[in-house]
């Protein structure tokens, strides 16, 4: 997942998507070199104290105010230098705040620092929204003679003007004032919703007997208390192993039920208000719904196309899912003859059961080849080989003792920074995502980002074996990371980093998952404690077993895509979110519903991705087509990887996504590879 800060999520950010070329040319410098007035960043910004957060805000908001005044005070002809370059610097100054505060509010161990970061974010968003609705700034950009500009700058103007209009700048004063109020209200709703999801960790207490089937190292790390009970939380290192291995259905059910009630009831009124705020905002700027507003600057363009895609994929997938459910039910009836259906708490357990029966793949055996440290080093080794870069650990300040800092070199040249914040703790983001820290700006700052995950943490007595699904997730998030970092060489901030269309952003990450399934890749680092390298036969069986439950898993994804679109594609005036969830899941979800399923309250994508959860399947359909080139030449082929880096990753937002893919494939992308994958 790419974690978008709120100023991107509300859809009024300047997401620049630039022209097209047969191959990526060197970054075109300004015709007249611009000297930045912002101080360069020698290293990424990290916050340690409340004062750090306040200072970050004060300094960069002052820069933004100064630059705004300089633009408005300019006399005579509007030019690149007196208008566009200063606008670019305003965006850079605000990104320094908003990227940093987003990461800090999701990860910092000190609640006071998290809250100070949220307060700073609100201040910056108020300034950002005021800038986006300033008619004088809009007029200034519009007055620049685009004929005098190079191609990237011309496209910059085009998209800036489009996004100004999407923000309502050309509406009358009363509408702009209402939009400003709504924008700030949406910031607060976003923060409140996400905080409740992040901080609401629930747990159940179980006897060792109720956890029969769990791996020995899992049990050893969770000793029973004085009452003989073991506490199991809804954090990922507890949740997924229990759902995969616990033989007792009641154990799995109990954990799913508490997980499905996280952030409920607190988030129900917050989400209800959020839906209404976004709907009103979209209406005021000329769209029928937030879904229509959100789709307008994506590849899909409109909700009708998105719904058509969802239904097309559902039509392909539903028959297979139905057949799989019958197979799983036959297994479940052997364990529970009185069962009345296949529930979400059955999914991982019976997929695991069928993998063992049909393909002799036991995940408890597989995980012994994937201790965390070897996986981490292995993934970086793969990237180093195919892209020709090297990683060097750094002693830069970090926000928690478990966080690691790294530098990336291309030859002898330092090109990027990143951090790994990979293990769970209180108050931290609960899933897996890549957080941008700053966009790379040629001549001003190198790109920086952090991976934020919740994998098991190794100790001297515990190597922290990872489920293969976690290994795949690790590859996925590193795909996002390298996309952001390799695209950090542009002049315009909104062409740098992952600034492409939102429904394309999951392509590099989902593509990189394929490396987690390739024997020639895995043999480099998948070694058990006896020193045995994972066997080719086992990897082949793992690949075959990956098709087990594919229909069920894809219908689950489709149900979430349909739910996120459905919530935002209607007037939410009298909405009942729980009823809407039940209605959509009844049509698309492969699982039998259960009372007490309030999972919408902790569905974090309803904030950042809003109506755009379809992005995952949409991007996957493109990723499968792109992957065909890698598989033909070999995943470790550096020539293909360098082409991919040059024609897609490094392009950032400097051309339309469809043009990037066409340049790489030599043709328009299609669904053939995706349909073939669904049918495997």
Q: What is the pLDDT of residue 246?
A: 98
CA distance 140 to 57: 26
Provide the pLDDT for residue 3.
62
**Would you say residue 627 has pLDDT above 90?**
yes
More confident: 671 or 29: 671
Which helix (DSSP H) or strand (DSSP E) does residue 44 occupy?
Answer: none
Containing H/E element for 348? helix 347-359
Q: Please check the confidence at residue 14 and state whether its pLDDT lies above 80.
A: no
219-to-208, 229, 246, 471, 488 alpha-carbon distances in Å: 8, 12, 12, 21, 44
Q: How confident is the model at residue 11 (pLDDT cuts 50, 70, 90)?
A: very low
Burial label for 277, CB within 10 Å (0-12, 13-18, 19+), is: buried
- The per-residue b/e assignment along 483-502, b for 16 or more CB within 10 angstroms, e otherwise, is bbbbbbbbbbbbbbbbbbbb
Question: Quick check: 5 pLDDT over 70?
Answer: no
Residue range 607-613: average pLDDT? 95
Assign 3-class secondary structure to 290-318.
HHHHHHCCCCCCCHHHHHHHHHHHHHHHH
Mean pLDDT of 170-177: 94
Cis peptide before 567 (omega within 30 of 0): no
Helical (H) or strand (E) element with 481: helix 468-486
pTM: 0.92
Other beta carbons within 10 angstroms of residue 151's beta carbon come to 13
From CA 536, how far away is CA 534, in angstroms rounded?
7
Assess whether pLDDT exceeds 60 at residue 9.
Answer: no
What is the pLDDT at residue 459?
A: 94
Q: What is the pLDDT of residue 32?
A: 55
pLDDT at residue 625, as a whole number:
97
pLDDT reported for residue 16: 24
| 25, pLDDT greater than 90 | no
At 31, is the pLDDT very low, low, confident or very high (cuts 50, 70, 90)? low
Could you state, in order of their start, the residue ranges of all structural domains in the chain?
2-197, 201-259
**3-class SS string, 229-294:** CEEEECCHHHHHHHHHHCCCHHHHHHHHHHHCCCCCCCHHHHHHHHHHHHHHHHHHCCCCCHHHHH
pLDDT in tens, 536-594: 999 999 999 999 999 999 999 999 999 999 999 999 999 999 999 999 999 999 999 99
**% of the chain surpassing 70 pLDDT:** 95
Q: 């966080």: which residue's tokens?
A: 403
**CATH architecture of structural domain 2-197:** Up-down Bundle (1.20)
Q: Is 520 left (phi over 0), alpha (psi -120 to 50) or beta?
A: alpha
* Cα–Cα dist 594/585, whole Å: 11
Asked if residue 48 lies in contact with residue 397, where contact means CB atoms within 8 angstroms, the answer is yes
Indicate if the pLDDT at residue 136 is higher than 90.
yes
**pLDDT of amino acid 504:** 97
User: pLDDT tens, 446-503?
Assistant: 999 999 999 999 999 999 999 999 999 999 999 999 999 999 999 999 899 999 999 9
Angle, alpha carbons 664-408-459 (nearest 5°):
115
pLDDT at site 158:
86
Residue 43 DSSP symbol: S
Express as a percent the part of the chain with pLDDT over 90. 92
Q: Tell me what pLDDT residue 151 has.
A: 86
Q: Is the pLDDT of residue 7 over 60?
A: no
Across 108-134, average pLDDT: 96
Judge whether residue 601 has pLDDT over 80. yes
* pLDDT higher than 50, residue 24: no
pLDDT mean across residues, the chain: 94
- Cα angle 237, 242, 247 (rounded to 5 degrees) comes to 165
Provide the CB-side half-sphere exposure for 206 (13 A, CA): 23
Query: Token match 């990526």: residue?
Result: 24
Q: Check residue 26 and give its pLDDT.
A: 43
């Amino acid at each position: 997942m790419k974690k978008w800060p709120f100023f991107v999520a509300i859809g009024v950010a300047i997401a620049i998507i630039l022209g097209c070329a047969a191959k990526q040319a060197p970054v075109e410098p300004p015709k007249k070199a611009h000297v930045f007035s912002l101080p360069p960043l020698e290293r990424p910004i990290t916050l340690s104290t409340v004062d750090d957060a306040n200072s970050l805000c004060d300094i960069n908001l002052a820069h933004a105010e100064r630059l705004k005044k300089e633009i408005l005070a300019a006399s005579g002809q509007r030019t690149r230098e007196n208008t566009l370059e200063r606008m670019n610097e305003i965006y850079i100054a605000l990104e320094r705040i908003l990227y940093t505060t987003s990461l800090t509010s999701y990860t910092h161990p000190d609640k006071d620092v998290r809250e100070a970061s949220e307060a700073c974010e609100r201040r910056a968003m108020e300034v950002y929204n005021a800038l986006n609705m300033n008619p004088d700034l809009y007029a200034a950009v519009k007055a620049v003679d685009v004929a005098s500009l190079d191609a990237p700058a011309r496209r910059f103007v085009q998209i800036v003007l489009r996004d100004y209009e999407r923000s309502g700048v050309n509406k009358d004063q009363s509408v702009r004032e209402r939009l400003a109020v709504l924008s700030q209200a949406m910031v607060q709703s976003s923060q409140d919703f996400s905080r409740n999801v992040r901080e609401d960790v629930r747990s159940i207490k179980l006897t060792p007997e109720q956890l029969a089937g769990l791996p020995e190292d899992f049990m050893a790390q969770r000793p029973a208390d004085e009452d003989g009970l073991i506490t199991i939380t809804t954090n990922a290192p507890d949740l997924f192993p229990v759902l995969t291995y616990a033989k007792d259905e009641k154990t799995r059910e109990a954990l799913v039920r508490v997980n499905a009630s996280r952030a409920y009831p607190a988030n129900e009124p917050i989400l209800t208000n959020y839906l209404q705020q976004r709907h009103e905002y979209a209406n005021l700027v000329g769209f029928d719904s937030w879904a229509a507003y959100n789709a307008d600057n994506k590849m899909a363009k409109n909700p009708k196309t998105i719904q058509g895609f969802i239904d097309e994929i559902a039509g392909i997938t539903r028959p297979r899912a139905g057949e799989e459910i019958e197979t799983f039910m036959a297994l479940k009836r052997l364990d529970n003859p009185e069962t009345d259906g296949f529930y979400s708490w059955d999914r991982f357990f019976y997929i695991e059961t069928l993998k063992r029966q049909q393909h002799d793949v036991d995940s408890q055996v597989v995980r012994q080849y994937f201790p965390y440290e070897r996986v981490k080093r292995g993934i970086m080794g793969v990237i180093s080989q195919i892209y020709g870069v090297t990683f060097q650990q750094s002693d830069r300040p970090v926000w928690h003792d478990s966080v690691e800092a790294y530098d990336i070199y291309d030859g002898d040249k330092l090109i990027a920074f990143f951090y790994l914040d990979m293990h769970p703790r209180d108050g931290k983001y609960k899933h897996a995502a890549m957080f941008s820290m700053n966009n790379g700006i040629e001549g001003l700052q190198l790109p920086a980002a952090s991976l934020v995950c919740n994998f098991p943490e190794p100790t001297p007595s515990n190597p922290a074996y990872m489920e293969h699904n976690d290994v795949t997730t690790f590859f996925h998030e590193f795909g996002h990371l390298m996309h952001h970092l390799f695209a950090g060489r542009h002049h315009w901030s909104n062409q740098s980093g992952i600034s492409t269309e939102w429904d394309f952003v999951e392509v590099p990450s989902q593509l990189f998952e394929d490396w987690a399934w390739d024997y020639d890749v895995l043999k480099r680092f998948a070694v058990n404690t006896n020193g045995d390298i994972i066997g080719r036969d086992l990897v082949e069986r793992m690949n075959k077993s990956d098709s087990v439950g594919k229909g069920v898993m894809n219908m689950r994804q489709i149900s979430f895509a349909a739910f996120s679109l459905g919530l935002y594609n209607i007037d939410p005036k009298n909405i009942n979110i729980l009823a809407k969830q039940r209605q959509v899941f009844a049509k698309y979800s492969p699982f039998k519903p259960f009372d007490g399923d309030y999972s919408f309250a902790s569905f974090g994508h309803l904030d950042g991705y809003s109506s755009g959860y379809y992005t995952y399947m949409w991007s996957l359909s493109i990723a499968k087509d792109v992957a065909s080139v890698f598989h033909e030449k070999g995943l470790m082929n550096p020539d293909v990887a360098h082409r991919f880096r040059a024609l897609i990753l490094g392009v950032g937002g400097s051309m339309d996504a469809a043009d990037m893919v066409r340049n790489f494939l030599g043709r328009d992308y299609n669904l053939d590879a995706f349909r073939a994958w669904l049918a495997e």
